Amino acid sequence: MSPISRGFHRRHQEAEPAGRVPPGQYVTSDFPVLSAGPTPHTALTNWTFSIEGGQSPASWTWTEFQALPSETVTVDIHCVTRWSKLDTRWKGVSLDVLLGAVSYDAPYVLAFCDGGYTTNLPVADLTGGKAWVAFSYDGSPLPAEHGGPARLLVPHLYFWKSAKWVRGLRLRDTDTPGFWEMYGYNMYGDPWREQRYAGD
Amino acid sequence: MAGTAVRGRLTWVTATVDAMMDETAHVRTLVLSVPGWGGHQAGQHLDIRLTGDDGYRAERSYSIASAPGEPVAITVERLDDGEVSPYLTQDVQLGDEIEVRGPIGGYFVWEPVLDGDAPLLLAAGGSGVVPLRAMLRHRMQLGSSVPVRLLYSVRSLAEVIYRSELDEASDGVAVIYTLTRQQPPGWTGYARRVDQQMMAEVAWPVAREPLAYVCGPTNFVEAVAGDLVALGYPPQRVKTERFGATGTP
């Protein structure tokens, strides 16, 4: 039973759209930046996206990546620090396209990034039109502080899973923790089940 | 980017407000008595949950302001359009109960044993000073001689959080202010937003293998962290914690 805080009440009167904001989240209109270190700046000429660890690894240069079929999607995003942002518009390449280019039977991936960040995800959460490698936000190239040139976009999980500055996926037989997962954040991170930390 | 793994389930516990101190006109420190608190590291944060009498709930994260071993304290800046911070800085009373869980986060922490004698460069923008203050208190508690420079960017002296404590900073700790909006008469210190020139003057030389902790609003952190990397700091030696315009609860 939670203690009641006398005089504490909802201050933001605008009703949040029913069913769109997970428990413990609030809607923000700006786009906060959260990262553990300096923002990396990788020249597009040196950029590649790779899928490692399958039976047939694959790698794309920036030019090759841009030539892949891309989609524009409008999605809600939910950060574990409690902000949610509705109707964000991205352009990117579906993970169905990228994973479709390799053969594999691994059930998990570890996404790896410039700057050393990693995060773990089940392959099933990347396929079926649920995840993208996004390179454009709101009609413009993705700014570096938001993960540009390209970041993972997995909107149905907390946003730390949508790794900034992503450079590839390592297919894995086992679910091994990534960067924040090592520091006690949840291995899966479903915002609707409020899976913020280990054991939630 | 290796570090100590923090494991185990975090449960909500009911804490009691034991003491309150006004730090500035908009900032208040709350000292909490948290049953079963398992200890924390300097730089970690915790979650607060408030429940109104109509059942409405809100959760926010706050940096822990106290050193390991000290009673848990948070320092809250009131945001006028906020929901939780006005309550915590104006309405809450001594002896009130609030729910807490933590500690959370294991990367933006100072670990004196692992980090050895590396000089510390602490850079704070506004209320970003809170977790850095926990590191300063930890250092003092340990009797550590690790040299520290704290660069604190703040609008005016009146907005400086922990002013008296910072004024009494012990041997080996240099506090450098930059007052970005308003300076007292005769001010000879920095009076501008941080830039690469300022960082070159303030930051420890790379050869001393310093460790940098940068906390503040996004534009401050982006500027400082970028300048440090440009000065040759290895990115993995620059740990950051950012909050966006509404990111500070």
Please give chain B's pLDDT, 249 residues, in tens: 334 444 568 899 999 999 999 999 999 999 999 999 999 999 999 999 999 999 999 999 999 999 999 999 999 999 888 889 999 999 999 999 999 999 998 899 999 988 889 999 999 999 999 999 999 999 999 999 999 999 999 999 999 999 999 999 778 999 999 999 999 999 999 999 999 999 999 999 999 999 999 999 989 999 999 999 999 999 999 999 987 543 332
Q: Quote the pLDDT of residue B129.
A: 97
On average, the pLDDT of chain A sits at 94
Which of B5, B91, B235 shows the shortest C-beta gap to A7?
B91
Helix (H, G, I), strand (E, B) or coil at B194: coil
**B52/A9 touch (CB, cutoff 8 Å), yes or no:** yes
**A28/B54 touch (CB, cutoff 8 Å), yes or no:** no
Task: Indicate the fold that domain B112-243 takes in CATH.
Answer: Rossmann fold (3.40.50)
B239 touching A (Cβ < 8 Å) = yes
Domain residue limits, chain B: 2-104, 112-243
Residues A11-28: tens digit of each pLDDT: 765 566 778 999 989 888
Tell which CATH architecture fits domain B2-104: Beta Barrel (2.40)
CA distance A115 to chain B (A): 7
Which of A2, A4, A5 shows the shortest C-beta gap to B87?
A5
Q: Quote the pLDDT of residue B115.
A: 85
CA distance A53 to chain B (A): 22
Q: Quote the pLDDT of residue B26.
A: 95
Which of A8, A35, A81 shows the shortest C-beta gap to B50?
A8
Q: Quote the pLDDT of residue B247.
A: 36
- Please tell me the distance from the alpha carbon of residue A26 to that of residue A37, in angstroms, as a whole number: 25
**A32/B49 touch (CB, cutoff 8 Å), yes or no:** no
Q: Quote the pLDDT of residue B80.
A: 86
**A5/B235 touch (CB, cutoff 8 Å), yes or no:** no
3-state SS, chain A, equals CCCCCCCCCCCCCCCCCCCCCCCCCEECCCCCCCCCCCCCCCCHHHCEEEEECCCCCEEEEHHHHHCCCCEEEEEEEECCCCEEEEEEEEEEEEHHHHHCCCCCCCCEEEEEECCCCEEEEEHHHCCCCCCEEEEEECCEECCHHHCCCCEEECCCCCHHHCCCCEEEEEEECCCCCCHHHHCCECCCCCHHHCCCECCC
Which of A34, A177, A179 shows the shortest C-beta gap to B242?
A34
A197 touching B (Cβ < 8 Å) = yes
